[in-house]
Amino acid sequence: MPAELVGRFPSARAGAGAGERAGPAEKEEVVESKAAEEKGGCRSWLLRACPCCCRAPSESADTEADVPQTDGIAAGVDADAGRGEPDGVKPPLPQIGDTELEEVLLQVRLVDLLKSHKGQNRTLHHTDQYHSDDLIIRRGETFQVAVDLSRPFNSATDKLHMELKTGPRPLVSKGTHIIIPLVEELTDDRWEAKIVEQDGNRIKLSINSTPTAPIGRYHFTVATAGPEGVATAAQGPSNDIIMLFNPWCEDDSVYLDDEEERQEYVLNDTGRLYYGTEKQIGARTWNYGQFSEGVLSACLYILEKSDVLPRGRGDPVNVVRAISAMINSPDDRGVLEGNWSGDYADGTAPTAWSGSVDILKKYHDEGGMPVKYGQCWVFSGVTTTVLRCLGVPARSVTNFQSAHDTDVSLTIDIYFDENMEALNSLNSDSVWNFHVWNDCWMARPDLPPGMGGWQAVDSTPQETSHGTFRCGPASITAVRNGQVYHKHDTPFVFAEVNSDKIYWQRNLDGTFSQIHSEKKAVGHFISTKAVGSNQRHDITHLYKHSEGSEEERIAVETASRYGTKPNLYSSAAAEDVHMEVTMEGEGPRIGGDAQLTIVLRNQSAVPRSTSLHSQVEVMYYTGVLKGTIKKDQLPIELAPNEVKTITWVLPYQNYQDQLVDQGALMLTLSGRVRETQQVLATQTCFRLRTPDISITPLGDAVVGKEMAAEISFTNPLPRPLKGVVFRVEGLGLQSIKEIPVGDVGSRSSVTLKERFVPSLAGVRKLVASMHCAQLTQVHGVVDITVQEN
């Protein structure tokens, strides 16, 4: 038989097919099924076929709780099967031969994953360029499979579900064993399947995936059940499914909203690496080759070798951090062995490489033997390849005059003796002509809002992080503002781009005194390839404020307080000025100027003065900052003990075409009190509130009797809304209904009357929402008390 068959028939067989290996989990199932035979025919056969659908009484409550009750096989099992029989007495079993069984039992003959390179699955998932015969999908999107059955599928009596398993010990509770039920309508953010086409014995299914699923290789199986029994078809490696991160899915942590940037940072398989000196910047082409034959397999192999368990592979922070460790070799026999000696006789010189493909394939083909040799640009090029291959937007970045801080002082320290002779034994810090690392794009729900977006990750083995040679991901926003207390490895990255160079001389008593400092010696011309061209794009402004500006100095001094020399910079003589941001009521509304209130309190008996820098940025709900839309500088004079209230205004024109998602914004304020050198800094998240939809019930609400509701909405914007669509629904009142309205004029109102017939008594909620390109997150609700007829 082409599939394992298990049913209420003695001739049905369960066991590993030819060429299949029974792992520990499978052996346990065999033992359980033998024990179950003594408790009743149907239940024993079902237990052998699909233990998740028919739990033995001895299984733990925790295991049972791991299995969701779905409309799949579990929901279709006769609850009384195998019960009520005396101990040792088996229920009578129908006597039927193998041929007759095959004719009536609903079996899976063939699973077609529709995985051709130019087919719908690969094209819509942007995986058609991979030179691989596997089905490669991106999480959070639907995909289709076709199943050939032994007879036509009857939705009234037959059941079907699918399962995906990844890792050596798949568990439902860990998200590594996924049960996909068959449903009538698909729901977002849930694993579900729907029959979208049926032709004789062949059905085509559309399957929903979740945007948080662990990435990697999954084993795919289909299980069926009908009145005649149960059958499962276990597929071999040829029908495995590979799941990747999805920068096209808004609910994926790696979502990137600009298509040109997705084309560059995910799909472009070549790039430019920069080297040399800040006055003589050189460039070379690097072939990333993330779609080349064998590269995806090598990347999955690296992921398997890493310390990230399968259940943790849904979080890009975990995955990127593991890749940072696995690209170098010192502590985990990773991909590349570094060599800066100049002697490369037993390997390949770092300068000889021009791409990542040969390196990754060699590492995979040789069973994980580190490839000789790499230096920073090679580590970075390979990291870009692996991250793009797995679906994480990534780019290689070069920092000129790049510091290497070895003692977490967040400074580059140079020591001299009493005679101004260099103390080489103490001078372990260094400044490289250039250093190449990576940026990768993701939300950071593990950090405060605003820390998402580009994250620095460095695979070159320089310093250990929690005992392993790795670095990042570190939020570039945190680096820019000196917020080095945010994970991961932000102090090291900050020092690379914005540390001061401090000169020390030894005193006669053995102590050291600071004799000189250079504040602009580190972090110049930070470069990456421009989107859509081979030009160099300078991104220094993303990593640091303008050199020498007050904001940049505040960032340096803020960071230093968390280093090993926290008292290096003079502390404030007093901290007697307090700053806070407040908003009136529930906050500003969309469509007009947004106003917040800045309150400054001088708690001293003398005047205080400062220059307050303000910057407001558009922010996704994930905490990723999209871009700055307004910057200001405001001089402040405070009289003794004065409380000053300042109205901060964001004009509508500044944000009208910039908002995303929930209309969220981040206001950053910073400054320094001149008299005391006290640093003032705060960040405030706020959103522009959208109007509510008003719903008014009309008439009596009685089961089975038609009633109506009036739905009204007013456009708050000083411009028309285009292509407005309302959605109305209510459990026990109205199934989902879309109502196209068309355009709604500036500041205009629209009123609809929706008729419906309540089907359930009690307090019911009628919900309405409005959507268009110019305005989202508009909704309303009303309670309707429905009486019995």
- Residues acting as catalytic residues: 376, 435, 458
Hey, is 433 helix, strand or coil? Answer: strand
Residue 440's closest CA among 396, 497, 480, 375? 396
| C-alpha pair distances (Å), 165 with each of 28, 202, 222, 313 | 17, 24, 12, 13
Q: How many CA atoms lie within 13 A of 594 on its CB side?
A: 30
Under 8 Å CB-to-CB from 761, ≥6 apart: which residues? 703, 732, 786, 787, 788
| C-alpha pair distances (Å), 384 with each of 90, 287, 288 | 62, 10, 7
Q: Are 677 and 695 in contact (CB under 8 A)?
A: no
Q: Which amino acid appears at position 614 of this protein?
A: S
- With residue 21 as reference, give the H or E element that holds it: none
Residue 220's closest CA among 197, 237, 205, 195? 237
Beta bridge partners of 770: 726, 778
Residue 388's closest CA among 639, 126, 83, 158? 126
Residue 162's closest CA among 74, 245, 226, 59? 74
Angstrom distance (rounded) from CA 398 to CA 538: 10
Residue 579's closest CA among 604, 599, 608, 605? 599
The number of residues making up the chain comes to: 789
Beta bridge partners of 787: 702
DSSP 72: S
Tokens of 303: 């992921």
Residue 190's closest CA among 171, 211, 175? 211
Residue 651's closest CA among 725, 565, 718? 718
Q: Are 500 and 519 in contact (CB under 8 A)?
A: yes
Under 8 Å CB-to-CB from 178, ≥6 apart: which residues? 163, 164, 165, 172, 191, 213, 218
Residue 405's closest CA among 275, 498, 513? 498
Q: What are phi and psi of 383, to 5 degrees?
A: -60, -45
